[in-house]
Chains A and B, each alone.
Chain A
Amino acid sequence: MKKIMAWSILLLPLLYLLLLSLNSYFKFPALIPKTFTWLYWSDVLLKNPLFYRGLISSVIIGFITACLSTLIGFMTGRAVVYHLNGFTKTIAIMIAIPLMIPGMIMFLGMHQILIHTPFINSILGVVIAHTVICIPYTSNIAIAYFAGIPREFEAVSKTLGGKGIVTFKKIIFPLILPGIMMSMSISFLISNTEYFSTFLIGGGKVISLSMLMFPYITNADYGHTAVMGLIFIGVHSLLFLVVQILIKHRQNKVFYGGD
């Protein structure tokens, strides 16, 4: 019984979206449409020139944001675990600042700063804004992973004559790799789900998937929205699946021998 309920929670919206994407116009009492059409799919996939632009720039923004925020997050994590006196409450709050300020106000402030730079209305500006809101998550992941590595590992490597780079490549990097993947996929996701900051700092010049969705949703255009949503869910579920498989694969290698 519980299982059926859980499955229906998962599948009902998806199935309904699929139905809607095939025919959005069915009047009130009808639960399921009677006629079907491919119009919405062909409209979005073939006739909308902005769609591919939006998809590509979404992926580019997401990817650069993921790399940047993961890099900064892991630098911060390393500094917190190894060079400061552990993960205290003050540090936790300092890192989480962007999460505590209401988003709207933070982005208005960022907009005021970025307006003086060449980054405004460009992909790079959006990337910078997204990076700021991703850093709290990536730093926390990094701190958790760095704290899980015993210090002795590095000491042993040093005693055996390993240089800094070798220690990093052979010991630290394999151990934090799952964390890096997790943090990259999470920041990619946060970046892609963000609407307001993309819209404000991109100034309408940067088109992303969620920006393409917005007019369809406000116009209650169910068919097109359903198509866009299915594509969105598909892309991201695929990403998470790949990351999960990679992490599993990697873990086995690290803990049970291998390279």
Chain B
Amino acid sequence: MDRKYRKLVLLTPITLLYSLLIGGGFWIILKESFGNIPTLGFEDVTFSYYSKAMYTNGFFHSVLFAIYLAVVSSVLSMVIGTWTAYRLTRAKNQKLKRLINSIMGLGIVLPYLYMVFLTMLFFSQSGVISRLLHALNLIHLPSDFPNLLYGRLGIGIIIVYVLKGIPFVTLLTMNVMSQISIDFEQVAMTLGGNNKQIFKKIYLPLSRDTIVWSGMVLFAYDLGSFEVPYIFSNLKSKSFSVMLYSEYLKPSIASIPITMAMTVILFGIGIISVILFALLVRTVIRRFHR
């Protein structure tokens, strides 16, 4: 009886917070998306707002754009991050190891907003890299440097996500990799395994779950992040969080149910794509190390 009581007490706060804020919030959004907002006089329950939301100009385009950004950036950060973690785990040079660790620490400490600024500073048309190229006499005008940040491909957004993603994946994966016993590696080496095989057959399978988990978290974050695509977007291609925010700010009361319907659709797409992404990554890694 005492144990049961204790378990309940320990789990109450997390359950309350999650169910009330996430579950309750979603419930209200769901209700409003069906057009049921008693305080405003909308009483009926209908699906019509969903079809209106679907036909909103550029809705699916923005969803696809967000998914494209999230997939490209999280895959890139997973690949680079895992490789860095592997190299760091097996590195002999302790000083270099500590140095790279502190670089990763800096990457974790910097907010996304600030990474946006650094990206702007280095990769814009009159940024540091463009200036260096000018100093090397490779380009002559700022317009000779490609418009990476505000272009249609959203390369600026991807750069920011990848720069923030690599430290996250590296630190998490390195944590797991450094606990892998060195005996495995030595046995593999005695049996004639080379560097590539050690990575593929020992380190990758043993740290697979962590890599998938970190990639999934990054994917979900990149999908729903607001400030990065807000700053680096143009009129042609904007991510869904930017579109949703502008819908949310609309003064017209009549558009509230449509906005909420959009949110519900995006919620569904978001969850499904996060799960699909995780499953896909897991299968790919499995295939790779087989």
Residues of A near any B CB (own CB < 8 A): 2-3, 6-7, 9-10, 13, 16, 20, 28-31, 71-72, 75-76, 78-79, 83-84, 95-106, 108-114, 128-129, 131-132, 135, 139, 189, 192-196, 210, 213-214, 217-218, 220, 222, 225, 229, 232-233, 236-237, 240
Contacts and interface: CB of A to CB of B under 8 A. Distances in A.
B216 A100 contact: yes
A105 B263 contact: yes
Nearest to A240: B105
Interface of B: 3, 6-7, 9-11, 13-14, 17-18, 20-22, 24-26, 28-29, 32, 93, 95-96, 99-100, 102-103, 105-106, 108-114, 116-118, 120-122, 126, 128, 130-132, 134-135, 142, 213, 216-217, 220-221, 223-227, 231, 240-241, 244-245, 248, 263, 266-267, 270-271, 274
A120 to B, nearest CB: 13
Q: At the interface, is chain A mostly helix, strand, loop or mixed?
A: helix
B2 to A, nearest CB: 11
Contact of A78 (B10, B100, B220): B10
A153 to B, nearest CB: 18
Contacts of B106: 10, 233, 237
B271 to A, nearest CB: 7
Nearest to A11: B103
Given A104-B224, A195-B111, A79 B117 contact: no
Given A16-B121, A113-B21, A102 B220 contact: yes
A135 B244 contact: no
Contacts of A16: 121, 128
Given A3-B96, A132-B22, A72 B14 contact: yes
A218 B217 CA distance: 27
A2 B95 CA distance: 11
A113 B20 contact: yes
Given A79-B7, A192-B111, A218-B231, A105 B14 contact: no
23 contacts: A2-B93, A3-B93, A10-B102, A31-B128, A98-B18, A100-B220, A101-B220, A101-B267, A102-B270, A103-B220, A105-B224, A105-B270, A111-B25, A128-B17, A129-B21, A132-B22, A193-B111, A214-B227, A217-B116, A220-B120, A229-B117, A233-B110, A240-B109
Contacts of B100: 6
Contacts of B6: 83
Nearest to A197: B226
Contact of A131 (B10, B17, B142): B17
B275 to A, nearest CB: 8
A181 to B, nearest CB: 15
